[in-house]
Amino acid sequence: MHAILTFHSIDDKGSVISYSPDNFRLLLDVLEKQQIPVLDLDTLLAPGTRKGVAITFDDGMRSVYRNALPVLRDHNMPAHLFLTTDAVNSATPWPRDAADGHTFEMLNWDELAALQAGGISIECHTRTHPDMRTLTETQMQQECEQADELIGNHLGRRPRYFAYPFGYHNRKVRDFARPRYRGTVTTELRQLGDNMDSAALPRLDAYYLQSPRLIQNIDSLLLKGYLSARNILRNIKGSQCKADFD
């Protein structure tokens, strides 16, 4: 197995972007038991790495600090968090246009510093979470530069990786991201492969790994193409319910 995993919130709300704390702990236990290494993105994407997973969180929900950090520390595993900086300390519920009515408390800078100290690298997910395809070059530049600068100023480390808001990208957006970041991740449900575009790295969304049975069989399911089948289904149905939150 050679893949990047996507999470948003680690909680029991049952929303489309929630993943339960019990399943999160089980998944890390299973990865450890099956000797699938959990790596940081630099190591996972290095030439020669053929096996391993990276854990990523999108947006910046407080539950990552409350419910994921302690489990990651217990397992001594690294992770990355793609942060939307306008949502930090947000007093208003987030996301603002919650389709299913679920909103989330967001991280503050003290919690982000604690995450970084605990081995979770804080990466870029823009300042305001726009559809990048609709922006001019200057606007893209502002969205990323302002976010990167703020993160650098608060945490002393500028982001090296980027996640497209909603997973939306096109050639213009990829050409913008490629020279700016070591890697940019999408919401395409696939494992990593050879000769990948660093500006279009696929990820496996934990949304599709919600039952203990699936989690325990994660490695063999991937070999059998379980998640690529979900990708095809999602495309056929034209369902954007996930993408709207990504």
Closest distance to Zn ion from the beta carbon of 206 (Å): 14
> Closer to Zn ion at the Cβ: 52 or 60?
60
Closest distance to Zn ion from the beta carbon of 125 (Å): 6
Using alpha carbons only, what angle is made at residue 186 by residues 240 and 138, rounded to the nearest 5 degrees? 100
Closest distance to Zn ion from the beta carbon of 110 (Å): 22
Closest distance to Zn ion from the beta carbon of 74 (Å): 27
> Closer to Zn ion at the Cβ: 39 or 185?
185
> Closer to Zn ion at the Cβ: 58 or 205?
58
Closest distance to Zn ion from the beta carbon of 58 (Å): 4
Residue 74: C-alpha distances to residues 5, 19, 197 (Å): 19, 18, 34
> Closer to Zn ion at the Cβ: 97 or 194?
97
Q: Max alpha carbon distance in the chain (Å)?
A: 47
Q: State the helix-helix crossing angle for 137-155 and 171-180, rounded to 10 degrees.
A: 30
Closest distance to Zn ion from the beta carbon of 126 (Å): 8
| Helix extents (H) in 91-160 | 109-117, 137-155
> Using H for helix, E for strand and C for coil, what is the string for 144-157?
HHHHHHHHHHHHCC
* Residues within the interface to Zn ion (CB under 5 A): 58-59
> Closer to Zn ion at the Cβ: 52 or 104?
104
Q: Over the Cα atoms of the chain, what is R_g?
A: 17
Closest distance to Zn ion from the beta carbon of 201 (Å): 15
Burial of 214 from C-beta contacts in 10 A (0-12 / 13-18 / 19+): middle
Q: Which residues contact 97 (CB under 8 A, 6 or more apart)?
A: none
> Closer to Zn ion at the Cβ: 58 or 143?
58
> Closer to Zn ion at the Cβ: 128 or 235?
128
* DSSP letter for each residue of 176-230: HHHHHSSEEE--------SS--TTSB--EEGGG--SHHHHHTHHHHHHTTHHHHH
- Cα(121)–Cα(112) distance, integer angstroms: 9
> Hey, is 74 helix, strand or coil?
helix
